[in-house]
Each structure stands twice: as structure tokens, then as C-alpha cells.
């Protein structure tokens, strides 16, 4: 898939036909069904979708952290700087995590170790990956804290002594400590208040610009996407249903689900009497419809939508939509 303005920056991450399933007693849960996307250095891709769309599973798949069992990466390739991560062994993979690729988790309250000081938690990742002495690692930890806006004196405090926003800054400091090339941020601001969210987003954005880190931003908030992403992938029931630049998605959304998401948001600028929700619920990923996964909820569904899962179609260069209507020139 090409990008609208051909970019000379090297391809950092390329996910190809990734399929991840969970085997449960109720049958096979098809969490991720052939996901494709790519990311260049310094780019931010927003992975948007509702609960259960497969966003987090995709991220865990890239990191090879899908709990196995019950989860299984069935097929696909994840190229990171040209190397297929799915072919790496455990030791090689461990060397990537925290060093080349790091992750910011949703809930800062539970992703820090409560019995270690924050300084030790930042130093830990540096010592493992960069073979620094303890003293040097502690020094790096102090620098990292300052970068994320926490006074270095606080490095001997424990997580419970920090507020939610501050804890998330510590998590970001850990993620950045080894200057990774790719950051996967899984709903990094969902647990925070709006004013704190704005501070944290600002911090993430500045750091990412400064170090030219690639970022995969997982969120359900289209507002957050508009703030910091350059590309967007809309996920529904394990499929990427629409993918393109931020302008493509926000100014020219084509897929009925994407349009539905925008329609369902209460707007601060416009006054509408009633919201237009998307009827129904997301299908059970253990029991997906045979055709288009969105067909049961789609206002434009036709007989042919139930036949098979639509292929992705490039409507304009770099703007992919997985919908039959759009293929036939409709959906505008």
C-alpha cells in the first residue's frame, strides 16, 4: 500500500496478513483477521476501534506477547526494519522488547511494580538492554524522569506516591529509556482526566517529534487521533475496514462504519437534537457473519454483502476501504 505523498523515510514496521485467534471452550475466537498496515520512522498510526475490535491483540501480536495458550498467531508476517519478528526466537524477541520496540499500557495504576521505586523501574530496562553499571543506569533514570517532566528527586519514591498522570509519565519514561524506534501506545490516556490527557498527549507528541520515533497509537477516541496521528486504521471485528491518511479518514470517510463512528459522537460545535448511533452491536468474534462483518448493522447493506468478506479496495491512492458499495462507486 502506498502513501499519498510518497515518503522517503524508511519503512519501520510492516504488518502483513496477520491472523490471531484464541481457542476457547466456546470455539475459535477470530480476534485479528488478516490485518495489513505499515509505518515509517517518525510516523504515528492511529488504530481505532471499539472494545473487542482486536486492537490490543494486534499490538500484542507485534510484540509476540499474545498469551499462548489460548491465543495463537495463526499466520502473517510482522516486518520490523525488514526482519520478520514472527520468525525470531524467544531470546532475540526479548532483546527487541523494551529496546527497539516498547509499549505504553493503558492503565498506569497496574502497569508499574508497586514494590520498586520508579527510579529502579526505569533503571531496570536500561541495565538489561544497555549493559550499563547500576550507577550509570540510575543516572539515566534521573534524566528520563526530567524528560517526561518529573523532578529527578522523586526517583526514590514508589508508584503509590504519584498521581495517575504522573504514573503515566513514569511509564512513558520507561518506554523511552532505551530510545526505541517504535512505541506501541495502548490507550495511553484513557484512564486520565482531560486536562492531564492533554498534557500527556503533548508530551508523547513532542518526544516522538524530537526522536523521530514511529508510533502505533491504539485508541477509541477519534479526538485523540486527530491530535497526534498522521495515518489512521479503523478496525472492526478483527478487520481493518478503512485505512488511509488522517485527511482521508477525517475529510473523506467512505466506510459506513467509519461514518457511523463520526455520526455517533456528540459534537461540541454543532447542535443536534438526537445523535445517530450505529444500530445493534459488534458481532461476537467467535461467531462472525459469513460476509462483511459490518453487514448486520450497515444501513446500506445489500444481498451481495452477505456472500463473502469484501476485499480492500484502494479508492484514492493510499486510502483503502473494505466495502462492496464503495467498490461500485457508491458509499460517497
Partner 1 sequence: MEELIQVKNLKKYFDTPRGKLHAVDDLSFTISHGQTLGVVGESGCGKSTLGRVIIRLLDPTDGTVLFEGKDITRSKDIKSLRRNLQMIFQDPYSSLNPRMSVSEIISEPLIVHHLCRGSAEIEARTRQLMDTVGLASRFINAYPHEMDGGRRQRIGIARALALNPKFIVCDEPVSALDVSIQAQILNLMQDLQESMGFTYMFITHNLSVVKHISTDIMVMYLGMMVEKCPADELFERTLHPYSKALLAAIPEPTLKKDRQAKLLRGEIVSPIEPKPGCRFAARCEFAGPACFERTPDLEEVLPGHYVACHRVNEINQL
**What does the binding site for partner 1 look like in residue numbers (CB under 8 A)?**
50-51, 163, 165-166, 193-199, 201-202, 220-227, 246-247, 250-251, 260-269, 271-272, 274-279, 281
Q: Round to whole Å and give the CA distance between 324 and 313.
A: 9
Q: Cell triple for residue 118?
A: 520508579
Comparison of 171 and 261: residue with beta carbon closer to partner 1 = 261
Q: Round to whole Å and give the CA distance between 121 and 239.
A: 36
Q: How far is the CB of 252 from partner 1 (least distance, A)?
A: 11
Print burial letters for 50-78: b (CB count within 10 Å at least 16), e (below 16).
Answer: eebbbbbbbbbbbbbebeeeebbbeebeb
Comparison of 131 and 274: residue with beta carbon closer to partner 1 = 274
Q: Round to whole Å and give the CA distance between 49 and 63.
A: 19
Spatial strand order in the sheet of 11-24? 27-40, 11-24, 71-80, 83-84
Q: How far is the CB of 262 from partner 1 (least distance, A)?
A: 7
Comparison of 135 and 272: residue with beta carbon closer to partner 1 = 272
Comparison of 85 and 232: residue with beta carbon closer to partner 1 = 232
Q: How far is the CB of 265 from partner 1 (least distance, A)?
A: 6
Q: How far is the CB of 95 from partner 1 (least distance, A)?
A: 35
Q: How far is the CB of 52 from partner 1 (least distance, A)?
A: 9
Q: Round to whole Å and give the CA distance between 97 and 118.
A: 19
Comparison of 59 and 278: residue with beta carbon closer to partner 1 = 278
Amino acid at each position: 500500500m502506498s502513501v499519498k505523498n510518497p515518503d522517503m523515510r524508511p519503512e519501520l514496521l510492516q504488518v502483513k496478513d496477520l491472523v490471531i485467534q484464541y481457542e476457547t471452550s466456546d470455539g475459535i475466537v477470530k480476534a485479528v483477521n488478516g490485518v495489513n498496515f505499515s509505518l515509517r520512522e517518525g510516523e504515528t498510526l492511529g488504530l481505532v476501534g471499539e472494545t473487542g475490535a482486536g486492537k490490543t491483540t494486534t499490538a500484542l501480536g507485534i510484540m509476540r506477547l499474545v498469551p499462548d495458550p489460548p491465543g495463537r498467531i495463526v499466520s502473517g508476517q510482522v516486518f520490523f526494519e525488514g526482519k520478520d519478528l514472527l520468525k525470531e526466537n524467544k531470546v532475540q524477541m526479548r532483546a527487541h522488547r523494551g529496546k527497539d520496540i516498547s509499549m505504553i499500557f493503558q492503565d498506569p495504576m497496574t502497569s508499574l511494580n508497586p514494590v520498586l521505586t520508579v527510579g529502579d523501574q526505569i533503571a531496570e530496562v536500561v541495565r538489561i538492554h544497555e549493559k550499563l553499571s547500576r550507577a550509570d543506569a540510575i543516572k539515566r533514570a534521573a534524566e528520563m524522569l526530567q524528560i517526561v517532566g518529573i523532578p529527578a528527586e522523586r526517583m526514590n519514591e514508589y508508584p503509590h506516591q504519584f498521581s495517575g498522570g504522573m504514573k503515566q509519565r513514569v511509564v512513558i519514561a520507561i518506554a523511552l529509556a532505551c530510545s526505541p524506534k517504535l512505541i506501541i501506545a495502548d490507550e495511553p490516556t484513557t484512564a486520565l482526566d482531560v486536562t492531564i490527557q492533554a498534557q500527556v498527549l503533548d508530551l508523547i507528541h513532542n518526544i516522538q517529534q524530537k526522536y523521530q520515533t514511529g508510533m502505533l497509537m491504539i485508541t477509541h477516541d477519534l479526538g485523540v487521533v486527530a491530535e497526534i496521528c498522521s495515518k489512521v486504521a479503523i478496525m472492526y471485528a478483527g478487520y481493518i475496514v478503512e485505512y488511509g491518511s488522517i485527511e482521508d479518514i477525517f475529510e473523506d470517510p467512505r466506510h459506513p462504519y467509519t461514518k457511523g463512528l463520526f455520526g455517533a459522537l456528540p459534537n461540541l460545535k454543532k447542535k443536534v437534537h438526537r445523535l445517530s448511533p450505529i444500530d445493534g452491536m459488534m458481532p461476537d468474534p467467535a461467531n462472525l457473519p459469513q460476509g462483511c462483518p459490518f453487514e448486520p448493522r450497515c444501513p446500506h447493506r445489500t444481498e451481495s454483502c452477505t456472500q463473502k468478506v469484501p476485499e480492500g479496495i484502494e479508492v484514492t491512492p493510499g486510502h483503502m476501504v473494505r466495502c462492496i458499495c464503495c467498490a461500485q462507486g457508491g458509499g460517497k
